[in-house]
Chain A
Amino acid sequence: MTGAATKHMALAVCTGCDIGRCIDTDQLIDATGQAFQGITCIKHGSLCSPDGQAGLRRTVMEKKVDRLAVAACSPRVMTSAFEVDGLLVERVNLREQLAWVMEPGHEDTRMCAEDQVAMALSKLDAIRTNDPYIPDPVSSDILVVGGGITGLTSALEGARAGYRVHLVERSDRLGGYAGRIHKLLPENLDSASLKEPDLYKLVSEVTGHPGVEIHLETGIRSISGEPGNFEVVIENSQVSTLHIGAVVAATGWKPYAPDKLAALGYGSGRVKTLEEFEQYVQEEQLPNRIMFILCAGSRDEDHLAYCSTFCCGAALKQALYVREKNPGAEVYIVYRDIRTPGFQEGFYKMVQADDAIFMTRGVVEKVDDQGDSVAVTVSQSLLDDLVTIHADMVVLATGMVPNTTTDLQLQYRLGKGLPELEYNFSDSHFICFPYETRRTGIYAAGTVRAPMDMEMSREDGAGAMMKAIQSIECVKRGEAVHPRSGDTTWTELYMERCTDCKRCTEECPFGSYDETEKGTPLPNPARCRRCGICVGSCPERVIGFADFNINSVSAMIKAVSMPDEFEEKPRILVFVCENDAYPALDAAGMNRLKFNPFIRIIPVRCLGSINKVWVSDALSHGYDGILQIGCKPGDNYQCHFIQGSELNEKRGENLQETLETMMLEPERIRTRFVEITDHHGIMAIINEYMEEIDLIGPNPFKSM
């Protein structure tokens, strides 16, 4: 390669950390100089040292370098040492993935080093920088949907942080379910009496804050646009439009449908749900014998499989209501497990100490309204084999069911609300990133996201507002949010070749693509997480990023010199996802596990970003196998872009047919999954794959 491009390219080779002991770096520089005529090459014993960095920056300035390959340690270390403003830098991992793990002085190690350097330089030639994408106009206002305890808290926190918040509530009052409770648990256990509800304080702080504009009896007609630039049409007595930067969806919960609990006696006037009893206690006289049945329709495959978290505490509190309002009353509680975690335990002890409250573990077999009382038959109790208790009233501690978020009326091609995951909760399914819903700039909070009590809901609302603010600040800088935080590239499409197949639109986990009236994909770059799944999905290869696109990866693939089949030096292309698989490879290197020298590694943003043209490029270039390693898919997925791994695997199945028509063995293309901590496992995956390829022999197209 030669010419104008290479004149401004440079290669810096570090000989430290055993790199210089493992390969002849002079030979590497020579070989690179021949392949890339005109390139500037430098070498240093410790590039990351102050002296090394100074020398590097001097060279960059003197030679007017705009593209630099740094052949040294992993890009995951010494990151800021090699970041230079305005310079495109590509790191070549000659340490963790070469010098520490391959045989020093061996010809195969030399060839690997030369190839990885050539790949980096070819990539540098094919990429460029871009101006960041910033929506115009951009809004820093935040929409909170739902005026219950979560939405109220969210709105107040946002306003206190200096942002303007629009709070939209469907009904005519603020407070939701939390606004209708009778009493609260005492502050501390020294006080025996229950507290008066204090939500009115929160409501008055919100209504009094100049930063919050409240819209009651208001629904959402539509939300369109992208983070930083959402157009929200709301409707009450009139229709108006808000310009919004981010959204917090706090649309709450509803009680589990009690009519499904006929087996527990619901339908009789004497059998009530938690919510019904909460109102009853405020309005009516209480009878003398009340039984609480916990986990009514919860932890039950036939009803709600999950635990609703709040109900044990709520039911015990209601038991205390009874004792307070009717001191002569007796309370019975039948439970499976009492779930009062944390400091609620003290409150449980208080209830246990009450002489008139009887608690037993048990399974309710039958609830029978006998006219003058309700007979509850309990088995597996701690009292006796089968016991029947007659109560005047039965309260079923029913669970919570999340509301849907389709009321957001998102004008997204992929649907009106947030995707509902397990048990219909609009959650992220990430333990470490609970707020990262699949719609950028739109965050779920409170009981719509997960079962929780009032205290947890307040914290959740505050956290979601933080994420909303953050997404706005990131979009104002033209940066992506988690997990590719700080990325300023964005999807660029060459529409001339687009055939409107819409695979990009359907496969994007985040709903970034809408459709024009003609049915052509319409990207919304601020919704994008820069995963590149659309790059991988497009059969016409229309989509790319300035620094990661069809050409840049093809160039890397073709930069590898291909020995002919008689040299018995196979070439395996290994695509590794940068999130879990690449760090696992580095960890293998840190632990000095042995790498096969025939592999050529290309990191990708996600396994889903791999386009099949790269596979055919690789096969026609002579690679004997293409191994793709990424994060685990499935119910407990670890894929940071939700379905990239899964898509790659599915696309692989389609590729098998192509392989068959080309009379190529199915082993030539493989997808494997690995956890980040499994550095032994990732080496086993590679070594097993090499054995598979060994058995089937070289790629028959190799010398063509």
Chain B
Amino acid sequence: MDNPIFIIGGGISGITAAVELAEAGRQVVLIEKEDYLGGNVSNFNNYFPKLCPPSCGLEINFRRIRSNPRISFYTGSEIQSICGSDGDYRVTINVKPRLINNNCTSCGKCAEACPVERPGIPGGKSVEKAAWIKNGLAFPMKYTIDPDVCKREECGKCLTVCDYDAIQLDAQQAGVELQAHKIIVATGWNLYDPAKIENYRYREEADVVTNLEFEKMLAACTRENQKLSRPSDGRLPLRVAFIQCAGSRDMNHLPYCSAVCCSASVKHALTLEAGYPEIESEIFYIDLRLSGRNEKLLKVTEGKERITLTKGKVGRILPSGKENGVLLEVEDIDNGTKRQELFDLAVLAMGLTPAPVAAGLKENEYGFYVAGQLSGIIPTATCKRPMDVSSSVKDATASAIKAMQG
């Protein structure tokens, strides 16, 4: 009997590889560094091109995980080391202090009693406690305590209200050693740091946000049933600018194209158009890269008066000199002019970089992991190259069959 197939990363790609392998009859172990499965996409508001919620597909996959005895998973865990060789690996993982254990029934009393706050996500609940749960569709459906802000035994209020012996304030980090037949690396992506593009004044301007932050703001609005509000003064932004290729296709930052940002911004503009009759959007692009059937999203924007597509690079964001407002300097390619435009909110369409993982994988010139270099360790999806959700799922499925070979 082979050792299980080990999957690093519990986002959409890791989850897909896990369920596809387990249903094909293989034992699978999945580790995820966050406290919940779902990864980056579980924080999204919707997908392109269907403008549908990520939780829809995630829920089916969570159901498949729940009902399959061949899948075990560790949250709050990261790889420490990998030894051995193809077909016979020994993987050591670090499980961060688990202050709430599996007895948790998600009753929520700990969060009610908890006196400590942690920073919430922009646009979301303004107050989140050290004891918290991701949302109403979280998986696993357990609360968790942030070990970095919790006051532990000094406070202990949660202990007094938990009826289920679920809280261990003295929990320590743990190391676990597991054997693996093959390893699939599905660690996904982070955004390129917007602060590195000094011209965009990301640190100075409250109303300059990244595409991922904007995604989370919209998701919070759906979840909390509230209106979009801009970070500086909480008001509805009436004019929103999307700045494409922010730090991408740029020899000074990311020379490559991240493939998804054009579609994502068009998706955002359409989402705003449908939900907010007051909001106007303008997308500043170099090339509109909506490939394949995503092209139809562009068709949908035609005739929408409140969406403008402008071929032009935003060179700089200038101090507006007003209390609020983001001043863009645009090289308008069609009109051959340089102009300045004031917006209420600017969304930087930042590119994707691979999340680092200690798996001994070779990197290409862009820092992404190269497939086929190590026979038993298989990188998949966005840690290999930027791609959209459908392609990630496809690639994760392809990585599953590779894990079944040899």
Residues of A within 8 A of B (CB): 16-18, 45-46, 48-49, 73, 76-80, 157-158, 160-162, 188-189, 299, 301, 305-309, 337-346, 349, 361, 382, 422-423, 425, 430-435, 450-452, 456, 459-460, 462-467, 469-470, 473-474, 477, 479, 481-483, 485-486, 579-580, 583, 586-591, 631-632, 636, 638, 640, 675-680
Contacts and interface: CB of A to CB of B under 8 A. Distances in A.
B137 A676 contact: yes
Q: Which of A17, A459, A479 has the most CB of B within 10 A?
A: A459
A304 to B, nearest CB: 9
B189 to A, nearest CB: 12
A16 B105 contact: yes
A451 B293 contact: yes
A52 to B, nearest CB: 10
A474 B23 contact: yes
Interface in B128-159: 133, 135-137, 141
A303 to B, nearest CB: 12
B47 interface: yes
18 contacts: A46-B164, A76-B66, A79-B66, A301-B299, A337-B289, A340-B257, A341-B291, A346-B256, A423-B293, A433-B60, A450-B293, A459-B391, A462-B398, A466-B20, A482-B64, A485-B67, A676-B56, A678-B222
Contacts, number: 236
B253 interface: no
A56 to B, nearest CB: 15
A48 B105 contact: yes
Contacts of A425: 293
Given A459-B394, A677-B55, A157 B256 contact: no
B60 A675 contact: no
Contacts of A430: 57
B52 A638 contact: yes
Contacts of B276: none
Contact of B53 (A18, A344, A586, A677): A677
B136 to A, nearest CB: 3
B223 A677 contact: yes
B109 to A, nearest CB: 9
B113 to A, nearest CB: 15
Chain B's interface: helix, strand, loop or mixed, by majority?
loop
Nearest to A470: B24
Nearest to B371: A459
A160 B406 contact: yes
Nearest to B67: A486
Given A469-B24, A479-B23, 9 more contacts: A345-B255, A346-B256, A432-B390, A452-B292, A463-B395, A470-B20, A482-B64, A580-B56, A590-B133
Nearest to B50: A636
Contacts of A158: 401
Contacts of A340: 257
Contact of B103 (A49, A344, A591, A675): A49
B60 A482 contact: yes
Chain A's interface: helix, strand, loop or mixed, by majority?
loop
Contact of A341 (B259, B295, B364): B259
A680 B400 CA distance: 38
Q: Which of B58, B287, B311 has the most CB of A within 10 A?
A: B287
A309 B291 contact: yes
Given A338-B287, A345-B249, A676 B59 contact: yes
B169 to A, nearest CB: 20
A157 B164 contact: no
B256 to A, nearest CB: 5
Nearest to B107: A17
Interface in B248-264: 249, 255-259
Contacts of B385: 342-343
Contacts of A431: 47, 50, 52, 57, 389-390, 393
Contact of B393 (A46, A337, A345, A434): A434
B401 A465 contact: yes
B233 to A, nearest CB: 25
A466 B398 contact: yes
B254 to A, nearest CB: 9
A306 B293 contact: yes
A479 B333 CA distance: 58
B56 A638 contact: yes
B136 A679 contact: yes
Interface in B1-43: 12, 19-20, 23-25
Contacts of A423: 293
A640 B395 contact: no
Interface in B370-406: 385-387, 389-391, 393-395, 397-398, 400-402, 404-406
A269 B234 CA distance: 63
Nearest to A683: B225
B54 to A, nearest CB: 8
B105 A46 contact: yes
A17 B105 contact: yes
Contacts of B310: none
Interface residues of B, number: 81
A473 B23 contact: yes
Given A305-B299, A341-B257, A466 B401 contact: yes
B404 A49 contact: no
Contacts of A345: 249, 255-257
A640 B68 CA distance: 20
B61 A432 contact: yes
A591 B18 CA distance: 30
Given A78-B105, A306-B292, A432 B67 contact: no
B332 to A, nearest CB: 12
B305 interface: no
A466 B400 contact: yes
B64 A466 contact: no
Contacts of B54: 432
A438 B319 CA distance: 55
B51 interface: yes
A259 to B, nearest CB: 23
Contacts of B402: 157, 462
Contacts of A79: 66-67
Nearest to A635: B50
A16 B163 CA distance: 8
Given A307-B295, A339-B291, A590-B106, A636 B51 contact: yes
Contact of A337 (B255, B259, B288, B397): B288
Nearest to B290: A307
B294 interface: yes
B141 A76 contact: yes
A478 B25 CA distance: 13
B365 interface: yes
Contacts of A450: 292-293
A157 B56 contact: no
Interface in B347-375: 364-366
Given A160-B405, A341-B289, A345-B255, A467 B61 contact: no
B235 interface: no
Contact of A481 (B23, B165, B333): B23
Contacts of B23: 470, 473-474, 479, 481-482, 485-486
B137 A677 contact: yes
B397 to A, nearest CB: 4
Q: Which of B19, B295, B311, B393 has the most CB of A within 10 A?
A: B295
Nearest to A160: B405
A339 B259 CA distance: 9
A494 to B, nearest CB: 29
Contacts of A580: 56, 59
B296 interface: yes
Contacts of A80: 66, 69
A675 B333 CA distance: 40
A342 B389 contact: no
A307 B24 CA distance: 34
A17 B391 CA distance: 41
Contacts of A590: 106, 133, 135-136
Given A305-B299, A481-B23, A640-B60, A432 B389 contact: yes
B292 A307 contact: yes
